[in-house]
């Protein structure tokens, strides 16, 4: 099994993918790795900086136990994280409780996607894996809207290049700011109200948050689609993807597990690349410069090269 972990500022999402055998009649070579394609379990836990290695280890193992899964069956772990203080903790959790060294999605990891950002090292790992999964599953051009602590809009070209995007405060941050900066307005549940016109304070707040944020999302998407072209597909993901995405004029796909799929795809690509290097004759292992897809395209830089920018 493959354990994938997406560490966000608010929540950490875990998924377990089972291995899928090669299809009958499929051309299989010695350099082809078995695929992890079937998501058999997923969980969402809080991202707490104060939790210790052992606390996270107990939580993860208990989740496995409740799903009748064996920790010993995990043969690979891949992690995307936008919370650097948790990286060391999770690395130790993987090594101590799963006896496995995790693959972190970071500069230098093979993703198969050129990055057109001015400084590719600035792009968050979650945005990269979302982009990889969206292009693999839906093609390009496309836009991924990830409703997390921040809401991100990531744009992928027709050729499969990461172009950049938009970052704005998430709807939860907007709700918290309104509650903290006003003396009499209560904290409310973020939900779609029955009517736009609120007949009480709670209804008015919910209407403002929901329809105001929906207007923000569709306003940005309208401009992005104008730049990318009318054939652009828009995919929503993240904790509130279904809530906002189903009411948007532009979002046609809500993919709850897009990030988990992206982690799985990047893992497979790195394993396949490693197997092919091992199988290649020694004389053929001298790398040759690859022809860039686009003259402006930049690969995700290695940690060493990103420090010199």
* Residue carrying structure tokens 């496309």: 142
* Bridge partners of residue 103, in order along the sequence: 78
Spatial distance between the Cα atoms of 34 and 2, rounded to a whole number of angstroms: 11
Spatial distance between the Cα atoms of 293 and 109, rounded to a whole number of angstroms: 18
Is 54 a catalytic site residue?
A: no
The strand order across the sheet containing 35-46 reads 35-46, 11-20, 2-7, 76-81, 103-104
* CA nearest to 42, candidates 61, 62, 67: 67
The catalytically annotated residue of 54, 73, 126, 176 is 126
Residues in the chain: 309
* Residue carrying structure tokens 């009480």: 200
Spatial distance between the Cα atoms of 3 and 113, rounded to a whole number of angstroms: 22
Question: Hey, which residues are catalytic here?
Answer: 126
């Amino acid at each position: 099994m493959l354990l994938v972990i997406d560490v966000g500022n608010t929540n950490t999402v875990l998924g377990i993918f089972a291995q899928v055998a090669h299809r009958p009649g499929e051309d299989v070579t010695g350099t082809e790795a078995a695929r992890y394609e079937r998501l058999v379990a997923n969980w969402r836990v809080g991202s707490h900086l104060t939790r210790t290695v052992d606390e996270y280890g107990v939580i993860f193992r208990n989740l496995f136990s409740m799903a009748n899964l064996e920790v010993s069956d995990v043969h690979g772990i891949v992690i995307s994280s936008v919370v650097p203080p948790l990286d060391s903790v999770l690395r130790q959790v993987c090594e101590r409780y799963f006896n496995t060294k995790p693959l972190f999605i970071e500069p230098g990891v093979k993703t198969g996607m050129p990055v057109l950002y001015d400084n590719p090292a600035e792009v968050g790992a979650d945005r990269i894996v979302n982009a990889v999964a969206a292009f693999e599953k839906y093609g390009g051009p496309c836009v991924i809207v990830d409703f997390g602590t921040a809401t991100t809009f990531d744009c992928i070209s027709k050729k499969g290049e990461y172009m950049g995007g938009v970052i704005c405060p998430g709807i939860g941050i907007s709700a918290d700011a309104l509650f903290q900066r006003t003396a009499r307005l209560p904290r409310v549940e973020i939900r779609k109200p029955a009517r736009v016109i609120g007949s009480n304070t709670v209804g008015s707040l919910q209407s403002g948050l929901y329809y105001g944020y929906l207007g923000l999302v569709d306003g940005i998407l309208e401009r992005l689609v104008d730049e990318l072209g009318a054939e652009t597909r828009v995919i929503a993901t993240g904790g509130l993807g279904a809530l906002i995405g189903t009411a948007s004029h532009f979002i046609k796909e809500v993919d709850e597990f897009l990030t988990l799929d992206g982690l799985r795809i990047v893992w497979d690509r790195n394993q396949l690349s490693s197997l092919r290097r091992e199988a290649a004759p020694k004389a053929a292992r001298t790398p040759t410069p690859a022809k860039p897809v686009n003259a402006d395209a930049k690969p995700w830089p290695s940690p060493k090269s990103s420090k010199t920018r």
